[in-house]
Structure 1
Amino acid sequence: MFRYLGAAILTCVPLVAANAASPDFCRNRIEPNEPLETRFMGIDYALMIHVLAEKYCGAEPTPMRPRFLGYIQKQGCSPGTEIYSDVEETIAKLEGASLKLLAQNGDPDLPLSERQVQDWAANAAKELGGCDALKSVHDAEFPR
């Protein structure tokens, strides 16, 4: 009896394995009961740190595309994947955004004075560790 049960199980294993698909971790959405992929969870913060370091703290401007999109590619997500496209779009918005537009969270109709923009930038920089920390992260080598 156990031999027949064992044979049946062993016969089904290749069929189940053939139909099993690994999760697509090159996307941003997470399906219910799917394991969390943490490689890209902090990329939004890293982008904001990069931009604040340059636009508020005076760090030497460096291109974001090779750094961030290169990291995503090294993680196995090529151009055309959801995460790559989203980060590429975010970089395009951030590169052209002024400090005021960042403070307005992308809403140009939000009336903020220059003082409010500077206060926002100062608070954001402080929350992220201060300008010295932002410049340090900005100039650091990105993880491989």
Structure 2
Amino acid sequence: MDDEGNVLGHLEGMDYRRDSPYTGECYRLATDPARGRVYHLNRYGLYVWDADGTLLAKVATDAKPFSVLKNFTLLGCTPDGDLILVQDKQHLMVRMPVPEHGVAEALAPAIEVGLAAFAKRRTAVKKQWPQVAWHWTYRPEAGSTRWL
């Protein structure tokens, strides 16, 4: 839609039943205007469209290692084109790199690498800082600029 509410196009390629955003109420989209892309994450997959609404890639969440994507919410997209995801249960924010070129072939391997790095870093954080009900209680020392 444009600024006046006029429909400019549709995002094509999703099956109304098998790819429904209603499961889990996953309605959020993220846009990357610099690359002309639109992203959507729901319980069935991670989707990428071009600016014309043509589906470029889908990473299905029905098998490992991508099944853990069901535990994330799409928050947005950085100016660099990376996705910002939030891990729902553990309240962790993840910056997931997305390939600039060849997204149809390279998206799944990039997401797989990103998820593996997230799991490794999450394990390190769990050992390094105490948590209560998946909320980390780390408090930086005065003058510290260190973040999770």
Q: Which is higher, the Rg of structure 1 or of structure 2? A: 1
| TM-score under structure 2 length normalisation | 0.24
In proportion to residue count, which structure has more strand? Answer: 2
Larger relative CO (CA 8 A, sep 6+): 1 or 2? Answer: 1
